[in-house]
């Protein structure tokens, strides 16, 4: 055998195929003889320790690396040479057994794993082999895995807390909450649901949701998507068979593995009773107002008749003061008569049935303008109406609504001719109408007061009227389940807004 070229000064290591393989391994290989001196030092170690084979041969590890004195590696080498024990050293990334450095970052030590194993050679006796591996990639993977596990644990803990919070919210909610499948089988229900339906959903034999809210079954069959989320009034059935009014919305849950829905509802029995009582009281009040107003007309007519006779027979025959008294009585009776007629009209708007139909708003505006023909001509008003949508309304009351608002814009005008614009903004469930003018305007602090009955912001001599027109407008809009409001700037005009439902 011939010596290896790398270790040609060391006759103990023969050149062989195995020796060539050791030179090209991606790890460090060192052989130590029985005295602990290096007899083989491969290329990997030479490049990373900055000590070539020629400088390493014949020297001990402590001679090359004095800092190994008393280290675990030195003890493991002694154990291997003296008693034949094998060892594996795995150091942390911050402390490496050998001062071996990375090739790309020369100042950074390589994290290592070193295997120390004894070999019994017939010619050399017991020698020791050191195998040094770069565990950077493994440590990186371990660090990454540790970080991923920590993040997963944090997310799991956050998810757990969120689930506990959601559960606490659901359990403490005042509304009944039920989770159910497409076939109506109830998967979960909160305590409020058990109280509302008087049924223990967790211990008794399961009943489908249809047994408690029959309309949900048909609703699911006919409607999908966002329309399910609408809060609607239904007839509920309690566990003991009692029927009661219920408000409930249904939502489809975003779960891919199952087709689940959640129903959220509340018992509105007390509210319905209050509404019925309020409606009865309102009807009685309307009837009283109508009767009182009607009954007051007869004595007023009597007073008006006799006042007319006094004026006809004695006007100019007594003195100027008496004539003034007669005139004041006549004017007072006339104003009282107008107020009573206005009150009767207001009462009729609130008590007359609302006959809903799909109404072409543009034709309603044309009819209102026709009724206001004389006022339009006298004032020189210019009314512009943009295309208007159809609505669900009582046509007769809708004509009155537009007629009052347009008439209001004509009455409260400045010196120049009134300019009135009518427009609408269409929505999915309601349309918003706007009637804007260039009139005298109103102080914004009175924006709500002007809709109250008999409220006047100006002297009767300046602007005649009973102060009930906008109150009638408000009542008409509210009876159509809409809203009415206004914005204004004194001296620049006003804009009235109201909403109406889209269709029947």
Instruction: Report which listed range, 287-301, 304-318, 400-414, is most confident.
Output: 400-414
User: By the 8 A CB rule, do 391 and 356 touch?
Assistant: no
Q: Is the pLDDT of residue 433 over 90?
A: yes
Taking the C-alpha atoms of residue 200 and residue 204, their distance in angstroms, rounded to an integer, is 6
- Both tokens of 111, joined, read 């994290």
Every domain of the chain with CATH number 3.30.565.10 lies at 354-501
Hey, what CATH class is 173-267 in?
alpha beta
User: By the 8 A CB rule, do 188 and 178 touch?
Assistant: yes
Give residue 7's pLDDT band: very low, low, confident or very high (50, 70, 90): very low
Taking the C-alpha atoms of residue 81 and residue 231, their distance in angstroms, rounded to an integer, is 85
Q: Look at the domain 354-501 and name its fold.
A: Heat Shock Protein 90 (3.30.565)
Half-sphere exposure of 136 (CA within 13 A, CB side): 11
- Both tokens of 402, joined, read 């537009």
What pLDDT is recorded for position 345?
67
Taking the C-alpha atoms of residue 163 and residue 169, their distance in angstroms, rounded to an integer, is 10
Taking the C-alpha atoms of residue 101 and residue 110, their distance in angstroms, rounded to an integer, is 5
Every domain of the chain with CATH number 1.10.287 lies at 272-350
Angle, alpha carbons 484-489-495 (nearest 5°): 30
pLDDT tens profile 80-120: 999 999 988 876 544 557 777 666 666 677 788 889 999 88
Nearest CA among 252, 254, 233 for reference residue 244: 233
Nearest CA among 392, 422, 394 for reference residue 406: 422
Q: Is the pLDDT of residue 15 over 80?
A: no
For 59-63, 162-166, 375-379, 429-433, which range has the lowest pLDDT when averaged over its residues? 162-166
User: By the 8 A CB rule, do 397 and 368 touch?
Assistant: no
pLDDT tens profile 164-210: 887 888 888 888 888 888 888 888 888 988 899 898 887 766 788 88
Give residue 2's pLDDT band: very low, low, confident or very high (50, 70, 90): very low
For 193-197, 439-443, 467-471, 484-488, which range has the lowest pLDDT when averaged over its residues? 467-471
Q: What is the 3-state secondary structure (H, E, C) of 364-376?
A: HHHHHHHHCHHHH
What pLDDT is recorded for position 286?
65
Q: Is the pLDDT of residue 10 over 50?
A: no
Give residue 388's pLDDT band: very low, low, confident or very high (50, 70, 90): very high
Q: Can you tell me the mean pLDDT for 15-38?
A: 80
What pLDDT is recorded for position 5?
39
* End-to-end Cα separation, the chain, in angstroms: 107
- Per CATH, the homologous superfamily of domain 17-134 is PAS domain (3.30.450.20)
pTM (predicted TM-score): 0.44
Bigger pLDDT: 241 vs 316 = 241
Instruction: Report which listed range, 42-46, 410-414, 465-469, is most confident.
Output: 42-46
What does residue 460 show for φ and ψ, rounded to 5 degrees? Answer: -65, -30
Q: Can you tell me the mean pLDDT for 489-499?
A: 91
Half-sphere exposure of 179 (CA within 13 A, CB side): 14
**Percent of the chain with pLDDT strictly greater than 70:** 80
Bigger pLDDT: 298 vs 400 = 400
What pLDDT is recorded for position 384?
92
Q: Can you tell me the mean pLDDT for 19-26?
A: 75
What pLDDT is recorded for position 369?
93
What pLDDT is recorded for position 244?
92
Taking the C-alpha atoms of residue 265 and residue 178, their distance in angstroms, rounded to an integer, is 9
What CATH number is given for 272-350 in this structure?
1.10.287
Q: Can you tell me the mean pLDDT for 436-449?
A: 84
Bigger pLDDT: 180 vs 292 = 180
Give residue 9's pLDDT band: very low, low, confident or very high (50, 70, 90): very low
What pLDDT is recorded for position 140?
82
Q: Is the pLDDT of residue 226 over 50?
A: no
Q: Residues 6 or more apart from 173 whose CB is under 8 A from it?
A: 190, 192
User: Over the chain, what is the mean pLDDT?
Assistant: 81
What pLDDT is recorded for position 11?
40
Every domain of the chain with CATH number 3.30.450.20 lies at 17-134, 173-267
Taking the C-alpha atoms of residue 100 and residue 55, their distance in angstroms, rounded to an integer, is 15
Residue 171 class from Cβ within 10 Å (0-12 exposed, 13-18 middle, 19+ buried)? exposed
User: By the 8 A CB rule, do 418 and 409 touch?
Assistant: yes
Taking the C-alpha atoms of residue 51 and residue 43, their distance in angstroms, rounded to an integer, is 10
Bigger pLDDT: 95 vs 2 = 95
- Both tokens of 43, joined, read 């290329």
Q: Can you tell me the mean pLDDT for 469-473?
A: 86
| C-beta atoms surrounding 416 within 10 Å | 9
């Amino acid at each position: 055998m011939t010596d290896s070229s790398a270790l040609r000064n060391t006759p103990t290591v023969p050149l062989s195929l195995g020796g060539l393989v050791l030179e090209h391994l991606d790890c460090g290989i060192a052989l130590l003889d029985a005295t602990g001196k290096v007899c083989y030092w491969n290329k990997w170690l030479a490049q990373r320790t900055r000590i070539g084979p020629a400088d390493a041969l014949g020297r001990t590890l402590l001679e090359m690396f004095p800092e190994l004195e008393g280290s675990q590696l030195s003890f493991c080498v002694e154990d291997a040479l003296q008693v034949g024990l094998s060892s594996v050293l795995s150091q942390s990334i911050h402390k490496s057994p050998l001062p071996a450095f990375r090739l790309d970052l020369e100042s950074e030590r390589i994290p290592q794993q070193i295997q120390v194993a004894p070999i019994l050679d017939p010619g050399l006796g017991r020698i020791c082999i050191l195998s040094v591996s770069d565990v950077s990639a493994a440590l990186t993977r371990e660090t990454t895995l540790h970080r991923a596990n920590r993040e997963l644990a944090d997310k799991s803990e956050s998810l757990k807390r969120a689930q506990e919070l959601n559960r606490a919210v659901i359990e403490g909610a005042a509304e009944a909450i039920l989770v159910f499948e497409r076939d109506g089988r109830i998967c979960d229900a909160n305590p409020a649901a058990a109280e509302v339906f008087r049924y223990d959903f967790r211990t008794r034999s399961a009943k489908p949701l249809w047994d408690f809210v029959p309309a949900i079954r048909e609703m699911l069959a006919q409607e999908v998507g966002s329309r399910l989320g609408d809060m609607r009034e239904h007839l509920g059935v309690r566990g003991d068979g009692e029927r009661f009014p219920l408000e409930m919305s249904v939502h489809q849950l975003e779960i891919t593995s199952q087709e689940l829905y959640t129903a959220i509802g509340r018992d509105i029995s007390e509210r319905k009773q209050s509404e019925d009582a309020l409606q009865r009281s309102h009807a009685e009040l309307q009837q009283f107002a109508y009767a009182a107003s009607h009954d007051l007309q007869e004595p007023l007519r009597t007073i008006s008749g006799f006042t007319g006779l006094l004026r006809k027979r004695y006007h100019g025959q007594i003195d100027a003061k008496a004539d003034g008294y007669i005139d004041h009585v006549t004017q007072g009776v006339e104003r009282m008569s107008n107020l009573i007629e206005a009150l009767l009209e207001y009462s009729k708007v609130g008590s007359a049935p609302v006959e809903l139909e799909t109404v072409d708003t543009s034709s309603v505006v044309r009819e209102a303008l026709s009724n206001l023909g004389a006022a339009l001509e006298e004032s020189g008003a210019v009314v512009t109406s943009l295309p208007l949508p159809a609505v669900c309304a009582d046509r007769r009351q809708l004509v009155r609504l537009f007629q009052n608002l347009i008439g209001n814009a004509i009455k409260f005008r400045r010196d120049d001719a009134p300019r009135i614009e009518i427009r609408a903004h269409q929505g999915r469930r309601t349309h918003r109408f706007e009637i804007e003018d260039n009139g005298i305007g109103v102080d914004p602090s009175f924006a709500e007061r002007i809709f109250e009955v008999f409220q006047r912001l100006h002297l009767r001599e300046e602007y005649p009227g009973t102060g009930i027109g906008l109150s009638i407008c408000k009542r008409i809009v509210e009876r159509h389940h809409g809203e009415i409001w206004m914005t204004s700037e004194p001296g620049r005009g006003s804009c009235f807004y109201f909403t109406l439902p889209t269709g029947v």
